[in-house]
């Protein structure tokens, strides 16, 4: 049964005085509205733009497993993300999102933050609650949300929370007042990050002040050099402060990817590596890739497990063969062996722990099940189904793995849309 949130006035039997802050009241409310629509298909509410499954809303607020609640929270938020909401629909959406924000499990709140980080449908009061939450929940909203204003950002900057301040410096547009606050409350890394952001309003006077304050900091100078809109007075000032090599880059307006150097997110390289793996399906490429990763010390258990969750089973075969010293053909047989010892033995020889083994075994079982069903999936569709099923497992993920898998699923969903 599909719930469609329509105009309230088309359902006269629904009380306007319902306590929408209560989760069961909301579920009952939307269920009544759904039945009202079915009975009055020609009513003014029949042109509603937002379709939700009332069972998803119920599971989102009442399921005892936090991983399941997070999965349904993300599903509901994906429906909300791009919908054109009437004022009545927005009212109900606001109350649904307030329920998610109140969930005691960080993973559930994180699902909301990641999914609605770019959405104008995120209510500002909900966004303000999220940016006061733990870093993994606050950072996506601080980095991207269009509903926050300068006052919201200034409040966070005054707290001097390092990760949150860095997140603000990555916003697509930052006003001069916020830049001044970043300079006032942040350290050199934060100031370097905002200086490298072309969306930050840094005029000649403010830029000169920043360079004078950090006149011995090469990273901040390099950040200014990377800007595309540098005032001529700052160009002249920088030429007197930097090396000859840097001056040449400055004059040529050479763009340097400084964000990679000042990005505090330690998982950036690993995320990019998994995305690269998804494009390397030729066996020869995978063999060369896993050998190089092993030589560089980057063929980690985290990389292997995350790749498995994304359905990169051929990479898993090559990776475990590389780490265990077992031949590729024998490794492939052991990986897909339904018995209790094949994969476990490989994991032990490869230095993976019991938790890694459990998640690897579950991911490979999901992969095999999808293959046996013989559906004609695109690569992205296959990965999306894999991730949805992995996230619904009765398994407690680490915070970093939760963030990675939720962001990966959200990116796949956004691409499909």
pLDDT at residue 273, as a whole number: 59
Lookup result for tokens 């094949």: 342
Whole-angstrom distance, CA of residue 179 vs CA of residue 191: 9
pLDDT at residue 38, as a whole number: 47
Tell me the domain boundaries of the chain. 3-118, 164-262, 268-416
pLDDT at residue 155, as a whole number: 96
Whole-angstrom distance, CA of residue 192 vs CA of residue 187: 9
Which among 190, 220, 198 has a CA at the least distance from the CA of 208? 220
E-only strand ranges, 20-172? 50-52
pLDDT, block means (10 residues), the chain with 417 residues: 36 33 52 48 48 82 90 91 83 88 93 95 95 96 97 96 96 96 95 94 92 88 82 70 57 40 38 55 64 84 86 89 91 79 88 88 87 72 84 80 78 61
Whole-angstrom distance, CA of residue 81 vs CA of residue 195: 31
- Is residue 349 within 8 Å of residue 326, measured between CB atoms? yes
Rounded to 10 degrees, the C-alpha dihedral 207/210/212/214 comes to -140
pLDDT at residue 265, as a whole number: 29
Which among 157, 169, 165, 163 has a CA at the least distance from the CA of 198? 169
pLDDT at residue 270, as a whole number: 58
For residue 121, the cross-strand partners are: none
Helices 232-239/218-226 angle, 10° precision: 140
- Is residue 85 within 8 Å of residue 121, measured between CB atoms? yes
pLDDT at residue 282, as a whole number: 40
Of all helices (H) and strands (E), which one includes residue 52? strand 50-52
Whole-angstrom distance, CA of residue 315 vs CA of residue 293: 12
Predicted TM-score (pTM) of the model is 0.63
Q: Please compute, for residue 304, the number of CA atoms within 13 A of its CA located in the half-sphere on the CB side.
A: 31
Tokens encoding 276: 């690269």
pLDDT at residue 289, as a whole number: 77
Tokens encoding 251: 């004059």
Which among 173, 169, 171 has a CA at the least distance from the CA of 195? 169
Rounded to 10 degrees, the C-alpha dihedral 304/305/309/311 comes to 30
pLDDT at residue 386, as a whole number: 84
E-only strand ranges, 201-247? none
Whole-angstrom distance, CA of residue 390 vs CA of residue 343: 18
């Amino acid at each position: 049964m599909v719930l469609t949130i329509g105009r309230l006035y088309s359902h006269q039997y629904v009380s306007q005085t319902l306590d929408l802050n209560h989760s069961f009241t909301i579920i009952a409310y939307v269920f009544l509205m759904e039945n009202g629509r079915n009975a009055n298909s020609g009513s003014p509410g029949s042109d509603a733009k937002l379709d939700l499954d009332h069972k998803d809303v119920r599971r989102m607020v009442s399921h005892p497993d936090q991983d399941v609640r997070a999965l349904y929270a993300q599903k509901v938020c994906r429906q909300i993300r791009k919908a054109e909401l009437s004022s009545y629909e927005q009212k109900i959406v606001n109350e649904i999102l307030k329920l998610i924000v109140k969930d005691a499990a960080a993973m559930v709140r994180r699902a909301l933050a990641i999914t609605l980080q770019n959405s104008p449908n995120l209510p500002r009061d909900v966004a303000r609650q999220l940016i006061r939450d733990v870093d993994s929940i606050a950072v996506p909203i601080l980095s991207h949300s269009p509903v926050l204003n300068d006052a919201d950002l200034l409040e966070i900057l005054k707290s001097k929370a390092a990760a949150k301040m860095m997140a603000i410096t990555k916003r697509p547009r930052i006003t001069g007042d916020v830049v001044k606050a970043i300079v006032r409350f942040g350290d050199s890394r934060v100031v370097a990050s905002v200086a490298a952001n072309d969306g930050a309003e840094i005029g000649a006077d403010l830029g000169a002040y920043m360079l004078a304050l950090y006149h011995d900091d090469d990273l901040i100078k390099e950040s200014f050099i990377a800007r595309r809109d540098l005032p001529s007075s700052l160009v002249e000032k920088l030429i007197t402060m930097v090396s000859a090599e840097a001056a040449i880059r400055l004059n040529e307006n050479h763009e340097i990817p400084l964000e990679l150097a000042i990005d505090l997110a330690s998982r950036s390289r690993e995320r990019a590596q998994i995305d690269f793996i998804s494009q390397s399906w030729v066996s020869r490429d995978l063999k060369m890739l896993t050998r190089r990763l092993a030589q560089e010390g980057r063929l980690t258990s985290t990389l292997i497990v995350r790749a498995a969750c994304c359905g990169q089973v051929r990479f898993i075969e090559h990776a475990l063969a590389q780490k265990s010293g077992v031949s590729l053909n024998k490794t492939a047989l052991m990986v897909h062996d339904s018995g209790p010892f094949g994969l476990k033995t490989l994991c032990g020889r490869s230095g993976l722990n019991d938790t890694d083994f459990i998640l690897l075994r579950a991911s490979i079982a999901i992969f095999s099940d999808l293959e046996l069903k013989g559906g004609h999936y695109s690569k992205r569709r296959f990965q999306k189904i894999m991730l949805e099923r992995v996230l619904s497992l009765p398994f407690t993920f680490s915070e970093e793995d939760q963030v990675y898998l939720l962001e990966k699923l959200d990116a796949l969903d956004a691409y499909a849309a």
